[in-house]
Amino acid sequence: PRRLPRPLRRAAATGPGRRLLLSTPIFYANGPPHIGHLYSALLADALLRHRRLRAAGPARLCTGTDEHGLKIQQAAAAAGTSPAELCERVSGLFRQALTQAGVAYTDFTRTSEPRHQRAVRHFWGALRDGGALYKGSYEGWYCTPEESFLPESQLAERTDAQGRPCKVSVETGHEVHWTKEENYMFRLSAFRDPLQNWLRDNPRAIFPDPFYQCVLRWLDEDLPDLSVSRERSRLQWGIPVPSDPTQTIYVWVDALVNYLSVVGYPESHGAWWPAVHHVVGKDILKFHALYWPALLLAAGLDPPERILVHSHWTVRGQKMSKSLGNVVDPTVCVGQYGVDGFRYFLLRQGVPERDCDYYDEKVVKLVNSELADALGGLLNRSTAPSINPSNTYPRFSEPCFPKVPDSREAKGTGRASAEDYELVAAVASLPAQVDSYFESFQIYKALECIAQCVRQTNGFFQRHRPWKLDRRDTAEQLWLDTILHVTLECLRLYGTLLQPVVPHVADKLLSRLAVGPAERGLSGLAFLARFDGKPCPFEGRQLGPDTGILFHRLGKS
């Protein structure tokens, strides 16, 4: 007998101190990584680092490789190797690329691991016991690269390399083949109402909003049952269906369960699930936002808390593809631009709602302008021995920069201009702004705000020309110290806020300002305390050793 979909139960642990699992997709092991893979991982990594700096509670970041399926079986045969050897090699390439890019993952799952396969078999049993599976004959257009059947509405007529007519996927251009076989089917059609209720009750479950709306539209369309196994005779490289050795579990069902196996399903997953944020590309939205929540509900589990969706990277306006020879190797990028240069570009330029374009000149121009010149130049100028011979965090003079412009207390000695007060207000509001943008999966906007404030701070420094002030004049010395104090306070804030994105550059900057490891958190981050009449713990402190150029300018490759 069929069991009806269960009602949703939200995670009991909410608020400060709660656990959170962040995940990237597990990457398909039929070829080496490209920048699209790294973009997913860097988004998740920046969210993890930001959360840790806020001391918001235990957090993990899981990633890995998806190692089963027809594509891998075929890729291994074409390479003259076994699927296991191919996966071992490609999985190693992904680990290497993620580590090179500074992705601080805590868990790396391979779907070929016994612990994962055990979880998949248990999950299949939960679907079967809940009455969500039945055996049926299935036929349709199958796309091997996408590992899925496609409806006629998503196909177009083309001619193949030999000039013969063929059908291809509209979205990817991959050729499809008519396939007929007996499979196990999942009753996806029974989950329209539960999925609609879930999304109606959780409008931020899928973000940004255009993707949320897209999923709602899919739920208004035809929702046919889903084929969740393949004939073993055609697909040997995968997990056999429990109690039916003639069938192999569909690679997407197998892969999605990695989010459960990593947290100890079926025994100990309750400590983390469903406090999970999946970071995924828009091309796999349907698998994560329709199939996965429905499968979870059928297995008696809640859907994930949030699905954070990003778009793709093109190269000079063209889609990345092996045939065009324009696939961008992240290892080459890290070598060319440095770890932090590469990270900064992708996270500063990547806009989740729309595809973004990559080309070398764009990277060089942005990174040189914002990291090397604006940020690095400001640090260099404000700590130079000629302008700060004592190599200290100078003292702030309240009469020079009074809290209230033209106040009686200043007695006409105030030197700050209206633009200076605008700068202080902008930088003071920056931590809350950055926090809000990270929370709403708009890291690029957080970086935009920081870059704007860095420009304003350079304007402040340039406007007052501290190098022109006479250190022998007491009043001039007070104003010079105040200019440097304000500049270093701005830099300290920028260094602290940039840690999730450019960890090495931020560490170098904060070390130069003698900001200790315990003083780099985001909770209770104070700015320009002396402006508010409070003591500043950095004032008068000896600066750290000169660490040299903060970020070396990139040359044209």
Supply 19's token pair.
């656990």
Structure tokens at 164: 């013969």
- For the stretch 476-521, pLDDT in tens is 999 999 999 999 999 999 999 999 999 999 999 999 999 999 999 9
Q: Within this chain, do residues 385 and 470 fall inside the same structural domain, yes or no? A: yes
**In a domain? residue 218:** no
Average pLDDT, the chain: 91
- Per cent of the chain over pLDDT 90 is 74
Q: Model confidence at 261, in pLDDT bands (50, 70, 90)?
A: very high
pLDDT above 50: residue 401: yes
Residue 281, token pair as written in the block: 């590309």
Residue that terminates a domain, selected from 312, 338, 358: 358
Cα separations (Å) of 204 from 175, 303, 305, 309? 35, 13, 9, 12
For residue 7, name the pLDDT band (cuts at 50, 70, 90).
very low
Query: Can you tell me the distance from the alpha carbon of 255 to that of 66, in angstroms, rounded to the nearest whole number?
Result: 6
The beta strand positions in 232-275, using DSSP E, are: 240-241, 244-249
Total number of domains in the chain: 2
Using 50, 70 and 90 to split pLDDT, how confident is the model at 330? confident
**Separation between Cα atoms, residue 2 and residue 420, nearest integer Å:** 69
Last residue of a domain, one of 358, 373, 392: 358
Q: Are residues 339 and 377 in the same domain?
A: no
Residue 140 lies in a domain: no
Same domain? 86 vs 111: yes
Assess if residue 9 is contained within a domain: no
Q: 66-80, 241-255, 336-350, 409-423: which has the minimum mean pLDDT?
A: 409-423
Q: Is residue 311 domain-shared with residue 262, that is, in the same domain?
A: yes
Same domain, yes or no: 492 and 459: yes
82 and 39, same structural domain? Answer: yes
List residues bridging with 141 in a β-sheet: 150, 178
Q: What is the mean pLDDT of residues 95-118?
A: 96
pTM above 0.85, yes or no: yes
By residue range, what is the domain housing residue 320? 20-131+191-207+252-358
